[in-house]
Amino acid sequence: MSSQGADYDWGDRLPTLTGPRVELRWLGEEDVPALFEIFSDPEVMRYWDSPPLGDLAAAAGLLREIHDHFRARTLFQWGIAPRGGGAVLGTCTLFRWEARHRRAEIGFALGRAHQGKGFAAEAVALLLSFAFQSLGIHRLEADADPRNEPSLRLLERLGFRREGYLRERYHTNGEVQDSVILGLLRPEWEVASSPT
């Protein structure tokens, strides 16, 4: 990792990343009901490698895991919220950060009522900018189910390229799922994100 990324001062919580319509912010106890609404929906969880949450206690447990991972600096999960405040619409995550190789993975989820409105694209773009500019990351990866066409289109619009197809990678929610691996290098992001 560049000295810039290795020396990033996370403090006691994630920084707020602000875009035109959404912000990525720290998740707190007040977000448990929204996390439950998002992650208990079988349609939202359709292509995840874990089952939907069963109750509010499970959502509270998820929040504890998010905070534990942050303290250990192993996973960084922001809430996607309307700019200026409001209930969480989804989450955006940076994980498997390998400082030596200057690479990490990203993930995102959005509540069903908020899909198709450009919120996820704006949130992921904010995360990409933070990862490449503030953390000095050189390569980002994403893992998507090949049937999840909206997510694949979003990632490709932001410059990700399909690099591999892994057959029957996951056994979850009673089915076997394939996986598409996508990658984005910092120079490619710079081209894709530059004004035309």
Question: Which residues span the domain enclosing 137?
Answer: 3-193
CATH number for 16: 3.40.630.30
2 confidence band (pLDDT: 50, 70, 90) = very low
**pLDDT tens digits for 51-93?**
899 999 999 999 999 999 999 999 999 999 999 889 999 999 9
**pLDDT tens digits for 125-150?**
999 999 999 999 999 999 999 999 99
Q: In what order do the strands lie in the sheet with 103-110?
A: 17-18, 22-25, 75-82, 90-98, 103-110, 139-144, 175-185, 161-172
* Number of domain units in the chain: 1
Given a cut of 60, whether residue 4 has pLDDT beyond it is no
Given a cut of 70, whether residue 98 has pLDDT beyond it is yes
3 confidence band (pLDDT: 50, 70, 90) = very low
Contacts of 103 (CB under 8 A, 6+ apart): 96, 97, 137, 138, 139, 140, 141
Its pTM stands at 0.93
Query: Which H helix or E strand runs over 77?
Result: strand 75-82
- According to the model, what pLDDT value does residue 194 have? 80
**pLDDT tens digits for 18-54?**
999 999 999 999 999 999 999 999 999 988 888 899 9
5 confidence band (pLDDT: 50, 70, 90) = low
